[in-house]
Structure 1
Amino acid sequence: MNIGGTLTRVLPIEDSSQIGHARRTAQQLAEQHGFDATDAGRVALVVTELASNILKHAARGELHLRVLPRAVGAGIEILAIDRAGGFDVQTCLTDGFSTRGTQGIGLGAMSRQADVFDVHADSRGTVLLTRFYPRNDKAPDRRVGISQHSLHDDPACGDVFHLAFDGASISALVIDGLGHGEEAERGARAGEQTYALTPFASPVLLLEDIHRAMIGSRGGALAIAQFDGDSLKFVGIGNIGACLIAPDKSRGLASHPGIVGGQYRKAQPFDYAHVNGQLLIMYSDGLQSRWNLQDYPGLVHRHPAVIAAILHRDFCRGRDDVTVLVVALEAAHG
């Protein structure tokens, strides 16, 4: 199972007129990916509630949409993101409670309609996750979160990511092509295509193959992480940030200097033992590096998609393409 990189679709929610557009966009996306009328209707209902809640509680915010490729078919992910003062999530999940005098059925109904529901709220704002799968899709949800955005919403993005799954094993790639725009994307995509052929090969051999594929392009920074159900191999060239996070500690993963497709010294992979149950976070330099999940009580236990969205919301530099990839390393992931 391979998942190639795609941009996160962002829908601003700043006016009531945008609620209908968001509903239609999400419903059409679901229908395009095999959802029947009933399942697409669930998506439309929840998107309407999410957009309405943003306007009620925060005045403005965003919906982030992403297609979730599956072995057969696809799911749909919708994240509601705002910077309001937050609210008591458990209280608001109770049907009949309302802070604005409405019927108060929103969050409780959403948690039942969605196949995956999670939320983190504090004084900095709220990120609420819903994921939907067709009713005949019984495969478990993959605990992976991705937030990828191009500079100035350019259709071309110099960042790429790729994920591969084989039973309990996971292989993850992030490439940041130098600069941004079409030339950066061309080089990064050439590297991704080579990686996708053998994502579980030796990381050093993979790196050499990707390097050859990117020669003649601008080149870029790269990181590859391979999890076998217990331990992690990691190799990085350039400034792709990466770390392993447990509830009580975190550690950065070391990269080597250089440019893939340009020049770098022979890189050795690093091995990290007994990482099952930890989070792997990889990110391009469009994200600031001075963040700490400990500053967000409870966030380490939230769904990786919520974590990725919060890191993007609060630490995006705003002057480059940005990718945030969060993977829960679980032996039973397959």
Structure 2
Amino acid sequence: MPRVWDVPVRDATRVRDARVAAEQAAALAGLDERRTAAAALVATELATNLLKHAEGGQVLIDVVDAPALRQDPEPSRVVQITAIDHGPGMSDVGAAVRDGYSTTRSLGAGLGTCLRLADDFGVHSTAGRGTVAVARLGMTRGSEALAPERPAGASGLGGPAVAAPRPAGGASGASGAGSPPEDSARGGAPAGALTCGALTGHAVVAGDPLGTPARPAVAAGPAAPWNDPSAWPTPARGLPDGGAPGNATPPHEPPAAGATEAAAGTATAADPSVPLAGVRAGGVNIPYGGAEYSGDAWTWVRAGDRVTLLLADGLGHGPEAARASSAAVAALHRWAHLCPAEVLAKLHDALKGTRGAAVALAQLDLGAGRLRFAGIGNVGARLREGGSWRPLLSRPGIVGVHRPTTLREEEADWAADRLLILHTDGLPSRWTPPCDAGLPAADPAVTAAVTIRDASSPARPVRDDTAVAVLTPTPPERP
């Protein structure tokens, strides 16, 4: 069941609670003593920064699948630590992650420590609205296990250093609100982002004030339009470079060699360490009222050329709701080769005997570049196509209790600028999707956390178990 540690950080005593929660999550994920200590330190730094720079916030810790769809049928589990605040926001994320930078006369090593220790680390900040930071830590540092050796003097995880990142947004409580960037006139409050991912093979990339990825300062060779999402490779072109949290293909449904090579470029089925698809997924889960278990659950799985993202909301709260959503997650791995409507029919049978759940399924055909969606119950879905958002509609009902006799699937093209958000009804019914132009380049879990941050406030916390799952293309490798 989805065990989630929800630690509200309002005073210094809760910093210890965040550290202990990270240690417990590391034990659940099977991390060794060294990586457990690293997870505890990252949680401590993020919680401390919430107090120093945002007057408090929230730390969420859970165990998720490693951030890549790989050939290995036994996916590793990693600890995900998410910090969310509604503080003043950040004016310079590039400076905030550099050692020695501080606005509170401290050593200024907190976010730099998180960057060095985490396998994946992403931050996003908007002046006046707050900041989110997401770190993931697994058994083995992704930069050591998966990425090529870095030249002397390089920094970050899994790629070349960024010598002097352009001013951007912030990391969770890394510094106070500063002067708004000049680019703020381009679209509302200034925002910024920084993303790196050793498990997905990405260099440290700082975003501009709207979150669009900047080209690393150390890059050589001809200019490439990395700020133009239309230039990014799509799954249909067979040029992906990364993956996302989730599970590998189930043992009973091995992908064909041709499909594997088409999805992974030069990768082959014999190399389980290489990500299989140019698509990423991530999510954030918040249990209602600080409960141990959330009734919501998300997962994604690959079967051949199909990648399926599932979000389930068990009826009610607590362990019984968690049991229903967990049953949906487990069943998906048996039926991921089917289309969404057929999967929902199988899930209906699998959830009989539970409370039932609302379930949404989004399935991406990597070869055709097409997205198919079907849902039952009050799990919402919105697809960003270019600069607009399109709702994808579910049918009324409860999977495992009452299934509609007919179920229509919606279809859409999948391109480099697409972004899909699935959410349970813990979000307000009229929440506004994030508007930053660079979010397709952000870590999907960061986008999920931004969605939750912007839909809530300290005076208006989430009203139910709340989960947001995000599907995005993988941006290309920076030169």
TM-score band by shorter chain is 0.7 to 0.9
1:293–1:300 CA contact under 8 A, matched in 2: no
C-alpha distance in 2, partners of 1:48/1:179? 32
| Structure 1 residue aligned with 2:301 | 164
- After TM superposition, the structure 1 = structure 2 runs for residues 84-163 of structure 1, keeping only pairs within 5 Å, are 84-88=87-91, 89-122=93-126, 123-133=128-138, 134-135=140-141, 137-138=145-146, 140=200, 142=244, 143-163=280-300
Secondary structure in 1 matching 2:105: coil
Question: What's the CA shift string for 1:180-215, capped at 9, x where partnerless?
Answer: 345544544444443332122132222222223344
C-alpha displacement at 1:295, in angstroms? Answer: 4.1
Take 1:32 and 1:207, find their aligned partners in 2: how far apart are those partners?
Answer: 30
Pick closer, same or farther for the CA change 1:205–1:62 going to 2, 3 Å.
same
Distance in 2 of aligned mates of 1:177 and 1:39: 33
TM-score, structure 1 as length reference: 0.85
TM-score, length of structure 2 as denominator length: 0.61
- Residue 327 of structure 1 is matched in structure 2 by 471
Q: What is the CA–CA distance in structure 2 between the aligned matches of 1:46 and 1:210, rounded to whole Å? A: 38
Instruction: Call closer, same or farther: CA 1:235–1:127 in 2, change over 3 Å.
Output: same
Over the matched positions of the two proteins, sequence identity in percent amounts to 35
* Residues 290-309 of structure 1 mapped to structure 2, 5 A cutoff: 290-296=430-436, 298-309=438-449
Deviations 1:289-325 (A, max 9, x none): 4233454564453211111112223325733222211
Match of 1:249 in 2: 388
Which is further off, 124-133 or 159-168?
159-168
Alignment of 1:169-188 (within 5 A): 169-188=306-325
1:75 aligns with 2:75: no
Structure with greater helix percent: 1
Aligned to 1:311: 451
Q: Does 1:14 align with 2:10?
A: yes
Question: 8 Å contact 1:226–1:233 — kept in the other structure?
Answer: yes
Q: Is this contact kept in 1: 2:6–2:287, CA < 8 A?
A: no
RMSD across aligned positions (CA): 2.8
Per the alignment, residue 45 of structure 1 pairs with: 41
| Cα distance, 1:72–1:171 mapped onto 2, change above 3 Å | closer
Pairing partner for 1:274 from 404, 414, 421: 414
| Alpha-carbon distance in structure 1 between the residues aligned to 2:298 and 2:356 | 15
Is the CA contact 1:145–1:304 (under 8 Å) kept in the aligned structure 2?
Answer: yes
Larger displacement relative to structure 2 (136-145 or 104-113): 136-145
Work out the CA distance in 1 between the residues paired with 2:381 and 2:444: 15
Deviations 1:85-111 (A, max 9, x none): 112222322332211112222223332
Secondary structure at the residue paired with 2:133?
Answer: strand
| Pair 187,72 (structure 1): closer, same or farther in 2 beyond 3 Å | closer
Deviates more, 1:293-302 or 1:256-265: 293-302
Q: Which is worse superposed, 180-189 or 105-114?
A: 180-189
The answer to whether 1:29 aligns with 2:166 is no
In structure 2, relative to structure 1, the CA distance for the partners of 1:210 and 1:20 (3 Å cut) is: closer
Query: How far is the alpha carbon of 1:58 from its aligned partner?
Result: 1.3
Letter in 2 for 1:57: H
**Match 1:233 to one of 343, 347, 372:** 372
Mark the runs of 5 or more structure 2 residues left unpaired by the alignment: 67-73, 147-198, 201-242, 245-279
Deviations 1:107-159 (A, max 9, x none): 23332332222111121111012222313643536132212223223345433
**CA distance in 2: counterparts of 1:288 and 1:31, whole angstroms:** 34
State the secondary structure of the residue aligned to 1:282. strand
Deviation at 1:33, TM superposition (A): 3.0
Higher strand share: 1
**Cα gap change, 1:127/1:212 in structure 2, threshold over 3 Å: closer, same or farther?**
same
Compared CA separation, residues 34 and 103, structure 1 to 2 (3 A)? same
Distance verdict in 2 for CA 1:12–1:223, change over 3 Å? same
- 1:197 maps to which of 296, 317, 334: 334
Map Cα deviations across residues 248-269 of structure 1 (whole Å, 9 max, x no partner).
2321112223333214231122
Amino acid at match of 1:79: T
1:23-47 CA-partner distances (Å, limit 9, x unpaired): 2432453355343343333323322
Which amino acid in 1 is paired with 2:15? I
Worse-matched range after superposition: 224-233 or 22-31: 22-31
Cα deviation, residue 241, structure 1: 0.6
Q: Are the counterparts in 2 of residues 241 and 289 from structure 1 also a CA contact under 8 Å? A: no
Partners of 2:324 and 2:13 lie apart in 1 by 40
CA distance in 2, matches of 1:137, 1:166: 25
